[in-house]
Structure 1
Amino acid sequence: MKDSGVEWIGDIPEDWEIIKTKRKFKTNKTIVGDKYTNFDRLSLTLNGVLKRPFDDNKGLQPQNLKTYQILNESDLIFKLIDLENVKTSRVGYSNYQGLVSPVYIRLINPTETRFGYYYYMNMWYQEIFNALGAGVRSSLSATDLLNIPYIFISSVKEKHNIVEFLDKKINQINTIISDTQQSIIELKKYKQSLITETVTKGLDKTVEMKDSGIEVLGKINKDFRIISLGYLGNFQNGISKSGDSFGKGYPFVSYSDVYKNRVLPKKTTNLVQSTIEEQKNYSVRKNDIFFTRTSEIIEEIGMSSACYETIEQATFSGFVIRFRPNVNIFLVKFLRYFLEGSFVREYFSKEMNIVTRASLGQGLLKKLPIVLPSLEEQQQIVEFLDNKTSKIDSLIADKEKMITEYELYKKSLIYEYVTGKKQV
């Protein structure tokens, strides 16, 4: 082994060489023009280069695809803009011919692209592109890419063996990850189904059911009653502050805090400058429930998070609505589970009128039908669901940990073989 002279590569075999990318690859940008309807639309994703529907309107969209460039099968494609973002895809190998954004960089060399793909994926995993593009530019040009160090292996057979080995191993790992992800999806579906069934029908499966009169609810336990959320408490939209008010001051419950957590964290890392009066009007108290109010997609609207402990001196985001109970006929822990039911999303989807941005107003939230058992049965349901969902959550956490471990194994495998630390 010898020192490669490149920090992120380390030692390489004696007969391997460090060259510049431009010695093995060339770039080319062919704009499609009026023939764009003859091609598939492609997108570089975290799961590779995938076909994308022409009518997919997520993200920024061109007026038409005439300005897009042609990507051929076995080409490499790079997205080297916005490099301060470390969570987006950067490198892809195309199994298709199609169209991609003109801001992407295309590398061509059919005999080299499979090894090159693994080499550049290793750079992405190590966030090398992000480091190289740090600073004012936050991007890399085609010229920058062509001047990046690249590993040249003179033995075609050796290079082929590395690619063949990695193709097989990475495919096996990806299959395990995909199967595990699907298992997590099924567990989450089961959890929501269990919650939905329990909060509307109760624990005694022999009890007679009745028609709720509400399409999204269907049949419910005959002893349960339905009350609109507006009769159970009052509502308050959150505080609006300028950008320079954030980062210092007092605790602040953000949109993200509510969207990501069904139970609000006891502490929030967000801070905002707020007055005593604002802390009074926009307080965050035990038994409050918060709802996400606005988003570009309806799936993110009306997500709820229950507050189990008061956060002193805290205020909450203007993109959030606070519900504060003013009656004692329900348990907040029961309501927290009820709001996780699948019918809540269906209700908002059915009732909302969306033009360009989804928005939940207090009026619609007040009309949300809530199914209420007796307080005694609410407590029994809470205890049952606490027990059942904690077991499901534990299974999900174990599977998520396994995915993380396999992802790390995949990264180390690619690094070790494309840099020659291990031999096939």
Structure 2
Amino acid sequence: MTELGKFYNGLSGKSGDDFGSGKPYITYVNVYQNNIIDESMIGYVKISNEEKQNTINYGDVLFTISSETPREVGISSIYLGRSQGLYLNSFCFGYRLNDFTILTPQYMAYCFSSYQFRKLVYPLAQGSTRFNLHMSHFANKKFKIPTVQNQLKIQKLLDSISEKLQIEKLIHVSLKEQKSFLLKKLFI
């Protein structure tokens, strides 16, 4: 992975008092819950002009580095937004590609959440009560990358499946509401 890009840390030197107002940052939950960062799920942190903190760019892959279980370490999300000045929380690290000619950000959203990738990351989690992932162990891992043309085909297919799943979830919620309504009418 170090051949294609570079790793960077999330926020450092912050206490609980620094959170709640200030500049926007990507939360751990946002990285954990979404393959693609949801810009409506941000937090705020106080950062002075003198501080050196890393900001997120379009196409950055964000990884969780700490959790209570080893299966939750190394969960990834891709930032495809255009906002400037977003920071990353301290329980995550970022990975920035040197360029997008070998690996596309949209493909990475699926690649880094795939079973094969998770299987590669799972053994790297270290700890007993709290599990952590170290960038140095992670950085030396290698994996196969399809051509950009194949990445785009895979991404298009998986986008279609994801869209279909979203529609099915909405239908499911609607049917549950309809069922609840009908049951209430039945017993009145």
Same fold (TM over 0.5): yes
Trace 1:36-185 onto structure 2 (pairs within 5 A): none
Structure 2 distance, partners of 1:320, 1:291, is 5
Deviation per CA, 1:4-40: give whole Å up to 9, x if none: xxxxxxxxxxxxxxxxxxxxxxxxxxxxxxxxxxxxx
Deviation per CA, 1:142-194: give whole Å up to 9, x if none: xxxxxxxxxxxxxxxxxxxxxxxxxxxxxxxxxxxxxxxxxxxxxxxxxxxxx
Give me the TM-score of the superposition, normalised by structure 1: 0.40
Unaligned runs of 5+ in 2: none
User: What's 2:21 paired with?
Assistant: 248
Structure 1 distance, partners of 2:133, 2:121, is 8
Structure 2 distance, partners of 1:394, 1:369, is 35
2:93 to 321, 324, 348: 321
How far is the alpha carbon of 1:307 from its aligned partner?
A: 0.5
Structure 2 distance, partners of 1:298, 1:365, is 14
Q: What is the percentage of aligned positions where both structures have the same residue?
A: 25
Structure 2 distance, partners of 1:292, 1:362, is 11
Q: Which has the larger radius of gyration?
A: 1
How far is the alpha carbon of 1:333 from its aligned partner?
A: 0.9
State whether residues 35 and 109 of structure 2, in contact with CA within 8 Å, keep that contact through their aligned partners in structure 1: yes
CA RMSD of aligned residues (A): 2.5
State whether residues 249 and 272 of structure 1, in contact with CA within 8 Å, keep that contact through their aligned partners in structure 2: yes
Structure 2 distance, partners of 1:342, 1:407, is 35
How far is the alpha carbon of 1:231 from its aligned partner?
A: 1.9
User: What's 2:7 paired with?
Assistant: 235
How far is the alpha carbon of 1:281 from its aligned partner?
A: 3.4
User: What's 1:359 paired with?
Assistant: 132
Distance 1:351 1:250, change over 3 A: closer
Distance 1:323 1:408, change over 3 A: farther
How far is the alpha carbon of 1:314 from its aligned partner?
A: 1.8
Unaligned runs of 5+ in 1: 1-228, 417-421
Structure 1 distance, partners of 2:179, 2:36, is 29
Greater RCO (Cα-Cα under 8 Å, separation 6 or more)? 2
How far is the alpha carbon of 1:384 from its aligned partner?
A: 2.0
1:290 to 36, 59, 62: 62
State whether residues 73 and 122 of structure 2, in contact with CA within 8 Å, keep that contact through their aligned partners in structure 1: no
Trace 1:153-232 onto structure 2 (pairs within 5 A): 229-232=1-4
State whether residues 289 and 323 of structure 1, in contact with CA within 8 Å, keep that contact through their aligned partners in structure 2: yes
User: What's 1:65 paired with?
Assistant: none
User: What's 2:122 paired with?
Assistant: 349
How far is the alpha carbon of 1:304 from its aligned partner?
A: 0.6
Structure 2 distance, partners of 1:276, 1:397, is 44
Matched letter for residue 70 of structure 2:
I
- The runs of at least 4 aligned residues of structure 1 exceeding 4 Å deviation read 406-410
Q: Give the total of aligned pairs.
A: 185
